[in-house]
Amino acid sequence: MNLNNASNVSDSLNTLIEELSKLPGIGPKTAQRLAYYIVRQPDYENLQLAEAISAVTTKIIYCERCQNLSDYNPCFICTNPNRNTSQLCVVEEPMDVVAIEKSNCFKGLYHVLHGSISPLNGVGPDQLRIQQLFERLQNEEITEMIIATNPTLQGEATALYISNNNAKKDLVITHLARGLPIGGSLEYSDDITLSRAFQGRQQISE
Amino acid sequence: MISSRTYTSQGLVLKYFPYKEADLILTVLTKQHGKLQAIAKGARKPQSKFSGHVEPLTVVDIQLAKGKSIETVTQVQTYKAYPSMYSDINKLANGIYISELIDQFTPDKEVNTKLFDTGIKVLDIISTSEEPDLSIRNFEFEVLKLSGFLPELYTCLKCGCEIIAGQHRYSVSSGGVICIDCSDIDNTLELSLATMKVLRYFNRHNITTEPAFKIKTETYTELKSLLIETIIFWLERDLKSSQFIEHLKSIQKSYQRHDCII
């Protein structure tokens, strides 16, 4: 695909532009600007970038336990002896693990589904890592499963599907609290969020 | 004359997809302006004043600014939400099916106020009823009717004679009933008298409340398959959300079998 006039200048530059334009949110013009920026950068910086891309392509694998992306199998979190192995937090994407780890509020294990149930887009339970989750629940000594899917229609569908179809007895299933975000405004809150915020209200400790 | 750049309408959010860092592109069936696409900027941020109001299956009062290709959401407020759907996967799956059905049968910017009102009515029923299946079939018939695909139920589509009770079959490709003399067994579906009566009831009554009668399982199965075949024929594709509903039903059946064994 000839995206621009760079083909008249250099085939390698044209290839780079084509490859960059495949990235999400990068149009042909942005790809062209990035390609010319890369050309002007010092050689070692470009090589570092190339090596980083090459490394994630060859080294990154899925942890067969939590299904998260990692350099090792099992990953650092799954093998960490200081983690609470009785609590399992189920998230949609690997980036959700990063967000929760950054908050430093959870010390248990994770399970990454790699998406959410989205019937309108043809994504059903079989396209996600839900079966691996059910197998894990049967094989490991997990007492609480915290479902941390997004509070969206797809996220709620996924949470309901998992909780309805879990076969493990004596498992406490919870999901993250719903309510008002820090920095949000009561005036602009929707009905469902407000009603759940009232349901989950807490006493102010003295 | 200067025309205003913004306009307001009541709308039903049918679906959305993420766009750029934090935006959403919504598909909304508006009451006054038909189905349209609109961008809700920043709606994926937790602090956004749009977040929560633009979830699918939410009825909203929405203000839109006209754009070159798609509209921009400037204000939105929930008019009616269905919290019970968020705690029952069967209700949620049925709601998503209604949303897909409306989306697939509605051309962009074509006003269809009756379809809007009927869509809200069936969502009301799904959110409150324990057995909304017959109402969903009623809505399928209503969608066909309001989109110009009303099945013929009174005269034979081949010879034009009046249909005699019990002497009929159904032709999906012809778009309705065929008398027994004209019907070709290979290319038509069986249509029992009971199913014919239900279809004629759907034709005479708009959805206001749940149908006050119950039908036999075999009549329901025939009715469902006939309507689904008709929908697939006109859309030239299957509905993705119906596969999810079938998946849920098959799991529930297997659990029931399992419970029986225990």
CB-based contact A119 B240, cutoff 8 Å? yes
The CATH code of the domain that includes B145 is 1.20.1440.120
What is the end-to-end Cα distance of chain B in Å, rounded? 76
Name the residue facing B240 among A122, A153, A181 (closest C-beta): A122
| Number of independent structural domains in chain B | 2
B92, B243, B244 member nearest A160 (Cβ): B92
Tens-digit pLDDT profile for residues A123-153: 999 999 999 999 999 999 999 999 999 999 9
Q: Which residues of B are less than 8 Å from A189 in CB distance?
A: 52
Which residues, in sequence order, are CB contacts of B187 under 8 Å at separation 6+? Answer: B171, B173
Q: Cβ–Cβ of A122/B92 closer than 8 Å? A: no
The domain that holds B25 is classified in CATH as: 2.40.50.140
Going by DSSP bridges, is the β-strand pair A84-91/A144-147 parallel, antiparallel, or unpaired? parallel
pLDDT tens per residue across span A97-127: 999 999 999 999 999 999 999 998 889 999 9
Domain match, B50 and B102 both: no
Considering the domain architecture, whether residues B96 and B25 belong to the same structural domain is answered as no
Whether B71 and B199 map to the same domain: the answer is no
CA B177 to chain centroid, in Å, comes to: 23
Nearest to A119 among B46, B58, B93 (CB): B93
Distances (CA, A) of B11 to A129, B34, B55, B225: 35, 9, 12, 31
Selected for mutation to probe chain A from B62, B73, B244 (highest A CB count within 10 Å) is: B244
CATH topology of domain A83-175: Dna Topoisomerase Vi A Subunit; Chain: A, domain 2 (3.40.1360)
- Residue B118 host element (H or E): helix B113-128
Average pLDDT, chain A: 92
> B59 and B93 in one domain?
no
- What is the distance in angstroms between the Cα of A182 and the nearest Cα belonging to chain B? 8
pLDDT in tens, B32-77: 999 999 999 999 998 899 988 999 999 999 999 999 889 999 999 9
Question: Smallest Cα–Cα separation from B247: which of A164, A186, A177, A178?
Answer: A164
The pLDDT assigned to B107 comes to 95
CA separation for the pair B12, A63 (Å, rounded): 41
Residues B76, B166, single domain; the answer is no
Of residues B46, B57, B93, nearest to A181 (C-beta):
B46
Average pLDDT over residues B80-102: 94
pLDDT given for residue A122 in this prediction: 85
Q: A53 burial class (0-12, 13-18, 19+ CB within 10 angstroms)? A: exposed
pLDDT tier, B262 (very low <50, low <70, confident <90, very high otherwise) = very low
The beta-carbon neighbor of A161 closest among B56, B89, B96 is B89
**Which chain A positions have a beta carbon within 8 Å of B240's beta carbon?**
119-122
State the nearest Cα–Cα gap between A175 and chain B, in angstroms: 12
Q: Hey, what CATH topology would domain A5-59 get?
A: Helicase, Ruva Protein; domain 3 (1.10.8)
Residue B104: inside a domain: yes
Please identify, among B33, B56, B81, the residue that sits at the C-terminal boundary of a domain: B81
CB–CB of A185 and B100 under 8 A? no
The answer to whether residues B73 and B196 belong to one domain is: no
**Beta bridge partners of residue B62, listed in sequence order:** B9, B76
Let me know whether B158 and B229 are in one domain.
Answer: yes
Q: Do B83 and A195 touch (CB under 8 A)?
A: yes
Looking at the fold, whether B108 and B228 belong to one and the same domain comes out as yes
Q: What is the mean pLDDT of residues B163-186?
A: 90
Q: What is the mean pLDDT of residues B178-200?
A: 91
Where do you find CATH 1.10.8.420 in chain A? Answer: 5-59
Task: Go through B121-130 and write b for each residue having 16 or more CB atoms within 10 A of its CB, e for each that does not.
Answer: bbbbbbbebe
| Sequence-separated (6 or more) residues with CB below 8 Å from residue B91 | B82, B84, B85, B126, B127, B132
Contact flag A165-B251 (C-beta cutoff 8 Å): yes
In a domain, B1, yes or no: no
pLDDT in the model for residue B1: 47
Residue ending a domain, choose from B40, B60, B81: B81
Q: In chain A, which residue's Cα lies nearest the Cα of B241? A: A119
Query: Least CB-CB distance to A157: which of B51, B52, B92?
Result: B92
Beta-bridged to residue A84, according to DSSP, are: A108
pTM of the model: 0.89
What does the pLDDT read at residue B261?
46
Q: Do B87 and A160 touch (CB under 8 A)?
A: yes
Please give the residue of chain A at the shortest CA–CA distance from B21: A25
Across the interface, do B92 and A156 touch by the CB < 8 Å criterion? yes
Residue A71: DSSP 8-state:
S
pLDDT of B2 over the 70 cut: no
Contact across the interface for B244 and A124, Cβ inside 8 Å: yes
- Lowest pLDDT segment from A197-201, B166-170, B171-175, B257-261: B257-261
Whether B61 and B18 share a structural domain = yes
The residue of chain B with its CA nearest to that of A186 is: B49
Q: What are phi and psi of A15, to 5 degrees?
A: -65, -45
Structural domain of B232: 89-261
Residue at a domain's end among B81, B100, B135: B81
B126 and B11 within one domain = no
Same-domain pairing of B10 and B126: no
Give all strands of the β-sheet with B176-179 in edge-to-edge order.
B176-179, B168-171, B189-190
Say yes or no for a CB contact (<8 Å) between B46 and A164: no
Contacts of A128 in chain B (CB under 8 A): none
pLDDT at A3 over 70: no
Nearest-Cα residue of chain A relative to residue B77 = A190
Identify the contact set of chain A against chain B, taking CB-CB distances under 8 A. Answer: 25, 117, 119-122, 124-125, 152-153, 156-157, 160-161, 164-165, 181, 183-185, 188-193, 195
**What is the chain B residue with the closest CA to A151?**
B52
Residues B29 and B123 in one domain: no
pLDDT attached to residue A206: 61
